Chains A and B, each alone.
Chain A
């Protein structure tokens, strides 16, 4: 069992996954530029590489929620659920706008920062779970 606090473990985990994200992003871009002949599964593997640390950061966050006390968990979960709902709503609405009203194309990898922007807004709005 780890002796580090949940906050410390979270900071270490997020720093590691964000560091991994930067490395994977530049690694992926540089590899794709250096090897334009890549195709099939190899191309898919290199292209998707930056998404893997993002999955890791979500796992770190969910682990943090399990480790904190019931009050912090309740508040954090409320913010997480509100941010998830807003992200789903906005992305679905934008999808319809793209499809039916010619709105500018929104790249799906931007969904992740959009979620965290909504999480920040939810954190400002919800200071308690009640």
Chain B
């Protein structure tokens, strides 16, 4: 269950990026989840819901955007995306692939409700 650690880190980033008096306005945080990041979205959502109030962010929702693996074949140079952790080139079947993206976890957006 390392998703609890991940959830904690996401909430800490929201707290750092948002002035404290606006915590109650924080409506969503969007997270990019690479296919190869070893994180289970359901477990992350569950952890997030359980601990968000500890950070004074009771209204915030977690939006997860799953990202495919972006790969580059070192042998033939082909660029392609993969939904699975398959490690052979779709063009030349070579096995030397560089992971360009899709193994990372990033916080990309924080949505704040307008002040009334």
Partners in one complex: no
| Chain B interface residues toward A at CB < 8 A | none
Interface residues in chain A, defined as those with a beta carbon under 8 Å from any beta carbon in chain B? none
